[in-house]
Amino acid sequence: MAINRAQLAKELEPGLNALFGMEYARYDNEHAEIYEEESSDRAFEEEVMIVGFGNAPVKPEGEGVSFDNANEGFTARYEHETVALAFALTEEAVEDNLYDRLGSRYTKALARSMANTKQIKAANVLNNAFSSSFPGGDGVSLINSSHPLSSGAVSANRASTFADLNETSIEDALIRISTQTDDRGLNIALQGVKLIVPPQLQFVADRLLSSPGRVGTSDNDINSVVNQGMLPEGYVVNHYLNDPDAYFFKTDVPDGFKYFVRSPMQTSLEGDFDSGNMRYKARERYSFGFSNWRCVDGSQGA
């Protein structure tokens, strides 16, 4: 349905000084703090986990060497979504100069809506990280206590009991990250690089990661996390996280969080022959997801 003059009656009144309601600042590109961006030229993308070899056994004297097999693990799939929005102005509204007054503002509002949708979709990977309804390639939720390994064992990227964000929970998560193994049980050099928090935890995170000393104690101890540079990129606030108590540690594992761009933002403007309305459209295709679940460790809070 096109925006007509009745809907914009006030814009036709002489002496109108200002329009308001669409010119807000916005939180832009917070997804860039989480995802690595890649391009795509297909309807979907798949990434396969390759499982390497186990530990090398001792070869008894005079006997043959042992052979091991490499195989494929799980497959992560990225389904690109088409996100689009449009608006139209009636021919009469354009004739009465509402295009000059409102056209640029509505196109800015269109861009704001598209950008906000992208941030919501990006944050939803973390918002749904604890839910079994949103499994990864290995069949369980992104953050889980029982990620199945090819060796037959399981591994966790969360504490057995969720805890609030504090000094102890940070240290426990960083230890858990640094002791992760690959699917055959070999140690991997993994570390946390940044803490991702909702707005409600930004002050707690700042005190925990900015103070040179331990927070909330009378002891004259150093802040060991800060002193060792354990989270080199500090913390970031994501304003699209739903749970005020949940927090996440992004790691430096390869092929973790990924953002595939199938078609970048495209805008178009055309007139409709029958009605004379001017129509404005914005469209893009992309997908957010993760391949290797070791990209994150997290908690829902106590």
Which DSSP state fits 248? E
Q: What order of strands is seen across the sheet that includes strand 81-89? A: 36-39, 257-271, 278-290, 81-89
Percent over 70 (pLDDT), the chain: 89
Domains of the chain as residue ranges with CATH: 30-48+76-299 (3.90.1690)
Residue 173 to residue 158: CA distance in whole angstroms: 7
pLDDT at 99 over 60: no
The least confident of 20-24, 155-159, 172-176 is: 20-24
Average pLDDT of the residues in 211-219: 84
The reported pTM is: 0.86
Residue 29 to residue 300: CA distance in whole angstroms: 24
Residue 12, pLDDT score: 38
Average pLDDT of the residues in 170-193: 95
Which stretch of DSSP H or E encloses residue 81?
A: strand 81-89
Residue 9, pLDDT score: 42
Greater confidence (269 vs 162) lies with 162
Digit-coded pLDDT (tens) for 249-299:
999 999 999 999 999 998 888 888 888 888 888 999 999 999 999 999 999
Surface-to-core class of residue 121, CB atoms within 10 Å of its CB (0-12 exposed, 13-18 middle, 19+ buried): middle
Average pLDDT over the chain, rounded to an integer: 88
Residue 102, pLDDT score: 65
pLDDT at 100 over 90: no
pLDDT at 189 over 90: yes
Whether the CA torsion 194, 198, 203, 204 is positive or negative: it is negative
CA 251 remoteness from chain centre: 13
Residue 21, pLDDT score: 45
Residue 4, pLDDT score: 46
Which DSSP state fits 275? T
Residue 258, pLDDT score: 97
Residue 278 to residue 270: CA distance in whole angstroms: 6
Greater confidence (92 vs 224) lies with 224
pLDDT at 186 over 80: yes
Position 20 confidence tier, pLDDT thresholds 50, 70, 90: very low
Residue 12 to residue 53: CA distance in whole angstroms: 74
Residue 97, pLDDT score: 63
Torsion from C-alpha of 236, 234, 181, 141, nearest 10 degrees = -10
Residue 6, pLDDT score: 47
In 10 A of CB 172, how many CB atoms?
15
Contact 152, 183 (CB under 8 A): no
Contact 266, 70 (CB under 8 A): no
Residue 291 to residue 136: CA distance in whole angstroms: 8
Digit-coded pLDDT (tens) for 37-62:
999 999 999 999 888 888 888 989 98
